[in-house]
Amino acid sequence: MRSIGVGVVGTGFMGAAHAYAFRTAPLVFDLELVPRLEVVADVRREAAEAAARRYGFARAVGSWRELVDDPAVELVSITTPNDSHREIALAAFAAGKHVYCEKPLATDWADAKAMAKAAREAGVSTLVGYNYIRSPAIAYIRRLVQEGVLGEPLYWRGIFEEDFLADPATPFSWRCRRDVAGFGALGDLGSHLVGMAMFVMGPIASVVGDKRTVIPERRDAPSEASAELYGAQIGAAAAKEAMRRVENDDTAHALLNFSSGVTGSLLASRSHWGRKNHLAFEVFGTKGSVLFDQERFNEVQLFLREGDPARQGYSKILIGPAHPPYGQFTPAPGHGLGFNDLKVTEVAHLLEGLAGDTELYPTIPDALEIERVLHAIDRSAAERGWIEVAEVD
């Protein structure tokens, strides 16, 4: 069995998910190439040390450069806030290493483009963390659409709502900063939505968008971790309980025209109370429709216009071994997967791609196409009119 040396940069929400997935993927999938957990890095060195102990990395370091330069690391996993993705990825490419990067790629279009160009030139493998498309339910829905079970597709409608910034009393965080996060809900949540739309329905040709910051300022009292990271400037402001202007969108909408002629719409919001991970979409076709909701991602609602109209209605299909790769996790239908299983499936896809057994998707150049749509929505919102996605170049 071959192995590959892995380095994970960052130990927050996604760093933990990546580390867990690297540990777990070989237990769930039959992999030709298995990960060796070599190095974990975090600017908060004690967090890296704790992660090394918990997940079994051989070494913990306080600087991503040390991780990238480590000869035992062949694959660099980037789970830091968006402003550092470009620098870390470019250094990894220069060292000839594969890159697994969290979404979105970067805080602006120029950086995202630079990452895609460098990835192509480096000739290494890349994957971006659009984990929701790894769900067995999504593979099933994609097949329904592609095999024409819904007839001719007519309309796609998607929503991604969370409420982590619904409370005006929630303090300012890195996600509210233009220079660290880039877009707000549009980049954080809308990127998943656009990625999902393109995965199921194909490319998007034109958009008209709108963006709003619904809670314009927040108390500048960052968590200890972000004060340490982003410096005394924030710390001093926090001491005075200053308010700080939110620099990006809480809510973004768009109308979409897919290249296929299908039309659609999307809404992304981080301030809708009660919604925790409401990544939901519907596809309407000439013969039926399908509905998915990530908060209930072990089921799919399917309506088919066939048979006696008196018996027609949405049927609830519980995901099971008939919907790969569910059966890798458990043989019993309807028992359910969880969020981390999507990350495990994503890492298995990555390792299969690195072993040469499958084509990786979405690579960094593929993810640039998702970001092209986000920038088209942003530009359209500023210009107040329709934009051809290809105009973003």
Ligand X SMILES: NC(=O)c1ccc[n+]([C@@H]2O[C@H](COP(=O)([O-])OP(=O)(O)OC[C@H]3O[C@@H](n4cnc5c(N)ncnc54)[C@H](O)[C@@H]3O)[C@@H](O)[C@H]2O)c1
Asked if 250 and 271 count as a contact pair (C-beta separation under 8 A), the reply is yes
What are the φ and ψ backbone dihedral angles of 182, each rounded to 5 degrees? 80, -130
- Minimum Å gap between C-beta 80 and ligand X is 4
For ligand X, give the closer residue by CB, 129 or 264.
129
Residue 268 lies near ligand X (rule: CB under 6 A): no
Residue 125 lies near ligand X (rule: CB under 6 A): no
For ligand X, give the closer residue by CB, 284 or 292.
292
Residue 10 lies near ligand X (rule: CB under 6 A): yes
Residue 129 lies near ligand X (rule: CB under 6 A): yes
β-strands 153-161, 263-269 pairing: parallel
- Minimum Å gap between C-beta 122 and ligand X is 21
Nearest to 373 by CA among 381, 280, 281, 119: 381
Residue 54 lies near ligand X (rule: CB under 6 A): no
Task: Estimate to the nearest angstrom the gap between the alpha carbon of 156 and the chain centroid.
Answer: 19
Which of 82, 135, 251, 271: binder of ligand X (CB under 6 A)? 82
For ligand X, give the closer residue by CB, 86 or 103.
103
- Stretch in the footprint of ligand X (CB under 6 A) among 80-88, 112-120, 326-334, 377-385: 80-88
Residue ranges in 292-331 that form contacts with ligand X under rule CB under 6 A: none
Which of 49, 70, 102, 378: binder of ligand X (CB under 6 A)? 102
Q: Which alpha helices (H) appear in 13-105, and where do they start and end?
A: 13-28, 45-55, 64-69, 85-94
Residue 273 lies near ligand X (rule: CB under 6 A): no
Residue nearest to ligand X (CB): 12
Q: Which alpha helices (H) appear in the chain, and where do they start and end?
A: 13-28, 45-55, 64-69, 85-94, 109-122, 136-146, 178-181, 185-188, 190-201, 224-230, 232-239, 326-329, 339-354, 364-383
Residue ranges in 152-211 that form contacts with ligand X under rule CB under 6 A: 188
For ligand X, give the closer residue by CB, 41 or 337.
41
Residue 126 lies near ligand X (rule: CB under 6 A): no
For ligand X, give the closer residue by CB, 15 or 288.
15
- Minimum Å gap between C-beta 144 and ligand X is 24
**What is d(CA 370, CA 376) in angstroms, rounded to the nearest whole number?**
10
Question: What is the three-class DSSP state of 58?
Answer: coil
β-strands 315-318, 299-304 pairing: antiparallel
Asked if 80 and 10 count as a contact pair (C-beta separation under 8 A), the reply is yes
Asked if 115 and 90 count as a contact pair (C-beta separation under 8 A), the reply is yes
307 C-beta neighbours (distance < 10 Å), count: 8
For ligand X, give the closer residue by CB, 25 or 150.
25
Nearest to 280 by CA among 188, 159, 138: 159
Half-sphere exposure of 193 (CA within 13 A, CB side): 34
**What is d(CA 157, CA 284) in angstroms, rounded to the nearest whole number?**
9
For ligand X, give the closer residue by CB, 98 or 303.
98
- Please, is 12 exposed, middle or buried when counting C-beta atoms within 10 Å of its C-beta (0-12, 13-18, 19+)? middle
For ligand X, give the closer residue by CB, 63 or 263.
63
Considering CB under 6 A, how many residues would be counted as binding ligand X?
25
- Stretch in the footprint of ligand X (CB under 6 A) among 12-20, 110-118, 137-145, 238-246: 12-20
For ligand X, give the closer residue by CB, 144 or 250.
250
Residue ranges in 31-50 that form contacts with ligand X under rule CB under 6 A: 41-44, 47
- Minimum Å gap between C-beta 14 and ligand X is 4
Asked if 375 and 390 count as a contact pair (C-beta separation under 8 A), the reply is no
Residue 9 lies near ligand X (rule: CB under 6 A): yes
- Stretch in the footprint of ligand X (CB under 6 A) among 81-89, 115-123, 299-307, 311-319: 81-89
- Minimum Å gap between C-beta 88 and ligand X is 7
Residue 346 lies near ligand X (rule: CB under 6 A): no
Footprint on this chain of ligand X (rule: CB under 6 A): 9-15, 41-44, 47, 64, 79-82, 84, 102-103, 129, 131, 188, 225, 229
